[in-house]
Structure 1
C-alpha cells in the first residue's frame, strides 16, 4: 500500500511537471518571433549599456546625488515598513483566530481579516501609489501609504499563518496556570514565532527598498527617479551609478538579516549584534520619520485637508461611474472583451517570465550551492568550483537587486513594446531570487544518500541526476509556483513603461482620467491574481 501511494505521488509530480512545461511552451506563442522584435538601434543600445556598466559616472556631483537619493529611498522604505508592521501586528493576530475559543467565532474572525489582508496585498504597491497620488498629491506620505498597505497585507498573512501553526501544548500549559489570552499571546505565541517573524520581516524590508526605488515612476523622489531621468537622457553611465547604490543597499540589508539570524541563535551576553540591531532600527526609524516631517515637510493635517477630501470624493465617484456621461466601462460588454484580451495577454506574460527564470535557474543553481563548490556533497573538489560559485552568486545579487520596473525601463530601449520585454524584465529579477532560494535548498540537503552514490563510484552527473535532483525537485516546484504568484501581481507594473498587458492600458486610462476603465482593469487584475493564487495553491499541494 505504501509503495502504491509513493508511486501515485511520483506520477502526480511528473504530470504536474509536464503540464507546467507545456504551459510555458503555450506562452511562447504570445510573441511573433521575427526581426521586428528589436528596435533598429537596439543592438547599439545593448553595446552602450554594456560599456556604461564598466565605466559608471563617478563624478562628485553624481555621487552626492546618488547618496541623497539613496537616503530618500531608504527613508520611504523604513517608514513604509513601520506602517506595514503596525497593520500586520493587529490584523495578523485577528486573522490567526488565536484570540477566540469558539470554533464559529474563530472562523468568522479568520475569514473577515484574512479577506482584508488578501485585498491589501492583491494590489501592487505602485498601483496604490498611483491611487494615493491622485488623491493626496506628490506627498512623501503617498509613498509611505503605498508601501505600508500591501506590505502590511503580506506580513499580516504570514504572521497569521505562523501564529495559527504554533503547537498548542505550551499554550495549554499557560492557560492551565491561569494566564489570560493576552498573556498567552505575549508570553506563549510571540516567543515561539519571534525568530521567524523577524527573519521574514527583514526579507520584506529588502523588498521594500526595491519597491521604494520605483515610487519615482509616479513622481516621488529617490533612486528610481534619478534612474528614470538618466534613462530618458540616455546617460547610461549615470544609470549604472544609481543602480550600484541600489544594489549596495540591498546587499547591506541582506547581510544584516543574515547576521541577525545568526545572532539570535547564539547565547552570548553583553553587547551583541542583536542589541546593535535594535539600536540601529531605532535610529533608522527616528531619522526617517524626522526626515519625512521636518525636511520633506509632510503633514498629516494637509493629508486630510478639505481639498484632498474633495479630490478623494471625485476620484472614488469616478471609479464607480457616478456622474459620468454614458455607460461605465465595467458595464460595457465591448470594454470587457478588450479587458479580458489584455488579461489573457498578461497571463501569458507571467507564464513566460517564470518559465525563462526557471530555465536560467536550473542552468546555474548547482554550481551556486556552497556544498557543491567546496566538494562536501559530491566528494569532488575542483579548483574552478569556487570561481563558478562566486560568479553565479554575484549574478543572483545583481539580478534580484534591480526592480522589475527598472529592468523593463532598460529593456524597452532595446526591444519594441509588447509581451516579450515585460516577460524578460520579470524573468531577470526573479532569476536571482529563484536561484538564491533553490541553491539554499541544495545546501540544506541531507548529504548521506548522495555520498553513498559517490562512494559506489557514481560520476558527478549521476550523483546530480539520481541523488540531488529527485530530493530537491518538490521544494524547487514550491518556490517556482510561489514566485509565479508574485510575478502575476507584478505584471501590471512592467506594463507602465510599455511592456504590454493590463499595466499599459491601466496607466493610459489613469492618465486620461477614464476612471471606470481603471475600475474594470482593476477587477480583471484581481480576478487574475485570484486565479493565480488558486492554481498555485492546488499545484503546491500536488507537488508535496
Structure 2
C-alpha cells in the first residue's frame, strides 16, 4: 500500500497525467538520428578519434579503480568491527552498560563509518565538478572523481566482507601474542580474498560507466564524444562511438563474470545485499580457472601500466601550492552553509522532486526487469526440458533472449545524461525525462543482475517438481519464483540507493531536482549554497539507504 502511494505521489510530481508531455516538433530530430545511425561516419580520422577516446575511458576507469581499491582496503580495515575489537573497542559485553559507555566503546568504529558515508553519498560527477575547480580539466580530475566515492563504497563493502569471516583463527593468533595487523592478514584476509577480488572487478565495471559519464564535464573519452555528436547534430558519428562503448562495457562484463565463476565466490550483488542464490550449488573450480585468475591479475598490472603511460597524470600537482590555495579558498567559501534563493521550502521541494524521480524510475524498472530476466534466462527457457534431452540450435525463444540481453547491455552502457538528451528530443523538459532516463539505465543494470540470479539458481528443486508431474507453469510458480523473488526485491531496493545518487547526473543536464540546482550553483561558484544543497542530498541518500536496508533485511528474514 505504501509503495503504491509513493508511486502515485511521484507520478503527480512529474506531471505524468498532464497532456503537455510530448513535443511533436522533436520527431524530426529522431528521424535525423536514425538516418545518422544508418549512415555512420567510418572515416579513418574519426575511427582513430574513437579509438583514442576508448583508451582514455579505459585508462580513467583503470586508474580510478586501482586507487579506489587502495582507499577501500585501508578504509575497510579501519571501518570493520573486528579491527576495533582487536584493539579493545566495539566488543560486545554481557555486563549491563549505559548508553554513554556503549557509545564510547563503539566511537572509533562509528567515526570511521561516518567519515566514509559522506564521499559515497555524492555521485562521482559531483566530485568531478569539484575537482575541475581545483585541478582543471586534467586526467587527475577524472581519476580522483572515480577513486574517492568508489573508495568509500569499497571500504564499506570490504568491511562487511571482513566482519562476516570466521573469527576463531584471528582470535587465536591474537591470544598467541601476534600483532592485530599480522593476525588480520594471516587469517581473515585469505578467507575473504575471493569475495574481495570479485567485488573489485565489479567496481571496474562501474568505473567504465562512470568514466563515460565524466565526459559530460569535459574530461574526454567516449562520453565526451557522444555529447559533442549530439550537441552538434553530427548523428553520423553516434554509431561508431556507441559500438566502441558496447565493446568496452561488454568485454568488461564478460571478463568480470568469468572471473567470479573462476573464484567460486559470491556475486557482487550477493555481497552487497546479503542474498545468496549460489549456496549449495557445486563448485566448478579447475586448473583452467586458476590459470584464468593468474592471467587476469597480470592483465590488470599491464593495463595499469598502460594507463599511466597513456594519460601521464601529474600526481605531483596534488601537493602543489596552487592546489592547496584553491582547496583552502573553496573550503573557506563553503562555510558556513547558506540556503539557496527561495529558502528552505525551495530546497525541500527540489528534494521531493529528486525523490520522485528515483521512485518513478524504480517503479518502472522492477516489473520490466523481472519480466525481461525470466525471458532471457537460459535456465527458464529450458524449463520444460529440465528432465528431458535439450535440443541444440537457435529457437525463437533463444533469439528473443539474446536480443533482450543486448538491450540490457545498450541500456546500461549508454550514460544516463545521454539518455536524457535523446529523450528530450520528443519530451518537454522537466523531471519526467530524467525519470525515464534513469529507468532505462537501471533497467539494463538490474535486468543483468536478475538474469545472473536466475542463471545461478539451484536447478534441483525444479527437477524434483517436474519429476512429480508438475507442468512448466507450476514449476515456475512453485519452484523458480519463490526462490528468486526475495532476491529480486533486494536488488530493486539496492538499485534505488544508487538511483538517488544518479539523480544528480540527470539534473546537471536539465532534468530537474537537486542536480539542476547544484549545476546552477557550481556555474555561479556559490560554494556556501552548494554546501547546503550537498547536505540535503547526503541526508536524502542516507534516508533512502536506511529505508532500503530495512526492506532488504525484512525480505532476507
Question: Normalising by the residue count of structure 1, what TM-score does the alignment of the two structures yield?
Answer: 0.89
Q: Which residue of 2 aligns with 1:369?
A: 377
What's the CA shift string for 1:445-470, capped at 9, x where partnerless?
A: 33344444444554433433333222
| Structure 2 CA distance for aligned equivalents of residues 333 and 410 of structure 1 | 31
Q: Which residue of 2 aligns with 1:287?
A: 306
Q: Residue 143 of structure 1 contacts residue 212 of structure 1 at CA under 8 Å; is this kept in 2?
A: yes
Among 86, 91, 96, the alignment partner of 2:75 is 91
Which piece of structure 1 moves more, 525-534 or 304-313?
Answer: 304-313
Deviation at 1:520, TM superposition (A): 1.7
Change (3 A) 1:45 1:34: farther
| Structure 1 CA distance for aligned equivalents of residues 249 and 177 of structure 2 | 46
| Structure 1 CA distance for aligned equivalents of residues 320 and 171 of structure 2 | 49
Moved over 6 A (4+): none
Which piece of structure 1 moves more, 113-122 or 180-189?
Answer: 180-189
Among 374, 398, 423, the alignment partner of 2:435 is 423
Q: Which residue of 1 aligns with 2:492?
A: 480
Structure 2 residue 21 is matched with structure 1 residue 22: no
Aligned to 2:374, the other structure's residue is in SS state coil
Deviation at 1:368, TM superposition (A): 1.4
Deviation at 1:75, TM superposition (A): 1.0
Structure 2 residue 41 is matched with structure 1 residue 49: no
| Structure 1 CA distance for aligned equivalents of residues 491 and 358 of structure 2 | 15
Q: Which residue of 2 aligns with 1:205?
A: 204
Q: Residue 329 of structure 1 contacts residue 336 of structure 1 at CA under 8 Å; is this kept in 2?
A: no
Q: Which residue of 1 aligns with 2:459?
A: 447
Among 329, 346, 352, the alignment partner of 2:354 is 346
Aligned to 2:115, the other structure's residue is in SS state helix
Which piece of structure 1 moves more, 189-198 or 93-102?
Answer: 93-102
Q: Residue 412 of structure 1 contacts residue 499 of structure 1 at CA under 8 Å; is this kept in 2?
A: no
Q: Residue 374 of structure 1 contacts residue 385 of structure 1 at CA under 8 Å; is this kept in 2?
A: no
Structure 2 residue 296 is matched with structure 1 residue 277: yes
Q: Which residue of 2 aligns with 1:251?
A: 250
Among 314, 319, 324, the alignment partner of 1:299 is 314
| Structure 1 CA distance for aligned equivalents of residues 318 and 467 of structure 2 | 69
Structure 2 residue 213 is matched with structure 1 residue 190: no
The number of residues matched between the two structures is 516
Aligned to 1:473, the other structure's residue is in SS state helix
| Structure 2 CA distance for aligned equivalents of residues 334 and 377 of structure 1 | 63
Which piece of structure 1 moves more, 441-450 or 310-319?
Answer: 441-450
Change (3 A) 1:338 1:229: same
Structure 2 residue 359 is matched with structure 1 residue 337: no
Structure 1 unmatched runs, 5+:
1-17, 322-327
Q: Which residue of 2 aligns with 1:130?
A: 129
Deviation at 1:484, TM superposition (A): 0.3
Q: Residue 362 of structure 2 contacts residue 439 of structure 2 at CA under 8 Å; is this kept in 1?
A: yes
| Structure 2 CA distance for aligned equivalents of residues 447 and 273 of structure 1 | 27
Q: Which residue of 1 aligns with 2:49?
A: 65
| Structure 2 CA distance for aligned equivalents of residues 54 and 461 of structure 1 | 42
Aligned to 1:88, the other structure's residue is in SS state helix
Structure 2 unmatched runs, 5+:
92-104, 265-284
What's the CA shift string for 1:142-187, capped at 9, x where partnerless?
A: 1111110000001110100000110123334544665432332222
Which piece of structure 1 moves more, 436-445 or 134-143?
Answer: 436-445
Structure 2 residue 378 is matched with structure 1 residue 359: no
Deviation at 1:490, TM superposition (A): 0.8
Aligned positions of 1:362-511 closer than 5 A: 362-375=370-383, 383-511=395-523
Q: Residue 453 of structure 1 contacts residue 467 of structure 1 at CA under 8 Å; is this kept in 2?
A: yes
Deviation at 1:55, TM superposition (A): 4.1
| Structure 1 CA distance for aligned equivalents of residues 382 and 168 of structure 2 | 42
What's the CA shift string for 1:242-265, capped at 9, x where partnerless?
A: 122111111111121223233345
Change (3 A) 1:446 1:104: closer
Structure 2 residue 109 is matched with structure 1 residue 110: yes
| Structure 1 CA distance for aligned equivalents of residues 290 and 243 of structure 2 | 32
Q: Which residue of 2 aligns with 1:313?
A: 328
Question: What is the aligned-residue RMSD (CA, Å)?
Answer: 2.4
| Structure 1 CA distance for aligned equivalents of residues 364 and 29 of structure 2 | 22
Question: Normalising by the residue count of structure 2, what TM-score does the alignment of the two structures yield?
Answer: 0.87
Among 547, 552, 555, the alignment partner of 1:535 is 547
| Structure 1 CA distance for aligned equivalents of residues 290 and 161 of structure 2 | 29
| Structure 1 CA distance for aligned equivalents of residues 22 and 246 of structure 2 | 28
Q: Which residue of 1 aligns with 2:231?
A: 232
